[in-house]
Amino acid sequence: MSKAYDIALENLTGAGARATVKPAPLPLRGISDAPADAKSFYIETFGCQMNDHDTEKVEGLLLARGYQAVATPAQASLVLYNTCSIREKAAQKVFSRIGDWKTLADGKIVGVLGCVAQQEGEDIFERAPWVSLVCGSASYTKLPDLLDQVEAGNKRVTGLSLDIDETFETELTRRDNRYRAYITIIEGCDYSCSYCVVPKTRGPERSRRSDSVLDEARRLADSGFTEIQLLGQTVNSYRDPSPRGMDFVGLLRAIADVPGVRRVRFTTSHPNDFHQGIIDAIDEVPALCDHIHLPVQSGSTRILKAMRRTYTRDEYLEKIAAIRAARRPISLTSDMIVGFPGETEDDFQDTLTLLAASQYDGVYSFKYSPRPNTPALSMDDAIPEEEKSRRLAALMDHQRQIQIARNDALIGQSFEVHVDGHNPQKKIWGGRTSCNRLLNFTSPLDTLLGTYVSVRVTRAGANSLFGEHAV
């Protein structure tokens, strides 16, 4: 998997952006040197933000059952891998981790959660007989029952049903980020992009009731969180299943109204469900962050059709034009795949011209990687690996120039930064602007973590900004 620019991206298909200034670590509540006979757990998470947040909920569930978190898998009585199969390399890494326990499991319970669990199912028990729990994310609501069975000594426990209409909610969620809290509002996906495993691993689309989402937002605000990010594979397809029947924009506005909430973000939006009402809401409600992540995947209508993306290049560009016409400048980021089967040089050039037309503030770009059980797997005309690499490098170079120019234009402007990182040796603070740019800065003050400060940009790179705290 190749990741291009990370100015602002924490999308659902790649690793999140990395701050130059490391975010302050959150003390792990419940982490301990558990006595040998205590119930203890260790979870390693792969992949997207949805997975990260699922892990936070699984951790909450385990803490509520009396488990203690420990710092290494060797210390844990229960070792879980929350997995990702969106790219081949991520799936391979999981099997390498599981292999570590072949001779060492020795009474430990080893479990596989997430997309690889759903995709490989009971075959995991054949490949790794020391694994005793295999559970896909669509079945997380059954985890308490499954854990009962595992704790009772059952050696092959599975949760692999996709026929589930509930969303995964827990009484207690452990929060690994102390400044930005995640709330999943919709799970699964009803689209069927030809390269994507998600509909098969996360199941059909299920929205969460608006009262439950709002209750969680209020609880988070009461406990001190000021920034909330709504998550969903197609977050803007949200449809409230309760009689209230809120749409996505109604929910955005309601969350922004929760006392104490100062910033609201959302990822990932599907272009098909993206409409003027979302832009109007951002224009009207200052708490809604001025950043939209709108994955396009290709600039060629022919390839978009082969990908089953449900929109054309021109339709996508109309949405970009609407975003650019907003009263409030909105930063825009996207995902791109190069080397999809049958992608010609002309198609690739269409992708480059779309980059120029869209003027993204950041792009996650990937080489196409064939995934099991997807229609694209059997498509002819695979693009050779070296050609994919050439196209990826060309795309990244093109986008880098765009980002340098866009960030340079911000020098001299001031932004409100939510401070989430500090490097005491270098005396540098770091945080995010509302438009989700990473802005590192100096300040004469020494207690800024978690606060919002005004920072004037003095320098710009392709992936971050640098500035001075305007005290």
From the CB of 197, what's the least distance to ligand SF4, in Å? 8
Distance, in Å, from the CA atom of 165 to the CA atom of 187, rounded to the nearest integer, reads: 10
Smaller CB distance to ligand SF4: residue 79 or 193?
193
Residues 219-238 that bind ligand SF4 (CB under 6 A): 233-234
Residue with Cβ nearer ligand SF4 (175 or 309): 309
- The CA distances from residue 119 to 202, 211, 214, 372, in Å, are 10, 33, 33, 8
Helices and strands (H, E) in the chain, number of each type: 13, 19
Tell me if 362 sits within 8 A of 403, measured CB to CB: yes
Minimum separation from the CB atom of position 272 to ligand SF4 (A): 8
270 binding ligand SF4? (CB under 6 A)? yes
Match 């911000």 to its residue by tokens. Answer: 410
Selected from 34, 198, 230, 332, the binder of ligand SF4 by CB under 6 A is 198
Q: Which is nearer to ligand SF4, 62 or 363 (CB)?
A: 363
Q: Which H or E run includes 89?
A: helix 88-99
In the complex, the smallest distance separating the C-beta of residue 271 from ligand SF4, rounded to whole angstroms, is 9
In the region spanning residues 276 to 335, those forming contacts with ligand SF4, defined by CB under 6 A, are none
| Nearest alpha carbon to residue 309 among 467, 465, 189, 446 | 189
Q: CB-wise, 118 or 464, nearer to ligand SF4?
A: 118
By CB under 6 A, residue 199 contacts ligand SF4:
yes
Q: What are phi and psi of 386, to 5 degrees?
A: -65, -35
Q: Are 57 and 181 in contact (CB under 8 A)?
A: no
Per-residue interface string for the shown chain with ligand SF4, residues 45-84, x marking contact by CB under 6 A:
----------------------------------------
Q: Whole-number minimum distance, CB 14 to ligand SF4, in Å?
A: 12
Coil/strand/helix, residue 422 = strand
- 187's CB contacts (< 8 A; 6+ apart) are 50, 137, 138, 167, 168, 202, 203, 205, 206, 208, 232, 233
Contact 7, 17 (CB under 8 A): yes
CA distance 110 to 42: 10
Cα distance between residue 85 and residue 107, in whole Å:
28
Is the Cβ of residue 13 or residue 407 nearer to ligand SF4 in the bound state?
Answer: 13
Nearer Cβ to ligand SF4 (122/165): 165
- Min separation Cβ 193 and ligand SF4, Å: 3
Least distance to ligand SF4 from the beta carbon of 189, Å? 3
Candidate ranges 95-103, 169-177, 187-195, 283-291; the one touching ligand SF4 (CB under 6 A): 187-195
> Shortest distance, CB of residue 434 to ligand SF4, whole angstroms?
25
Applying CB under 6 A, the site for ligand SF4 has a residue count of 10
- Closest listed residue to residue 367, CA positions, set 347, 344, 341, 346: 341
Look at residue 274 and give its three-state secondary structure: coil
Contact 450, 419 (CB under 8 A): yes
| Among 69, 76, 115, 189, contact with ligand SF4 (rule: CB under 6 A) | 189
**Among residues 80 and 196, whose Cβ is nearest to ligand SF4?**
196
Q: How far is the CB of 237 from ligand SF4 (least distance, A)?
A: 9
Q: Does 336 bind ligand SF4 (CB under 6 A)?
A: no
- The one-character DSSP state at 272 is G
Binding segment (CB under 6 A) for ligand SF4, from list 57-65, 191-199, 344-352, 433-441: 191-199
297: which DSSP letter?
B
Residue from 95, 101, 130, 191 that binds ligand SF4 (CB under 6 A)? 191
Using CB under 6 A as the criterion, which residues of the chain lie in contact with ligand SF4 when the complex forms? 189, 191-193, 196, 198-199, 233-234, 270
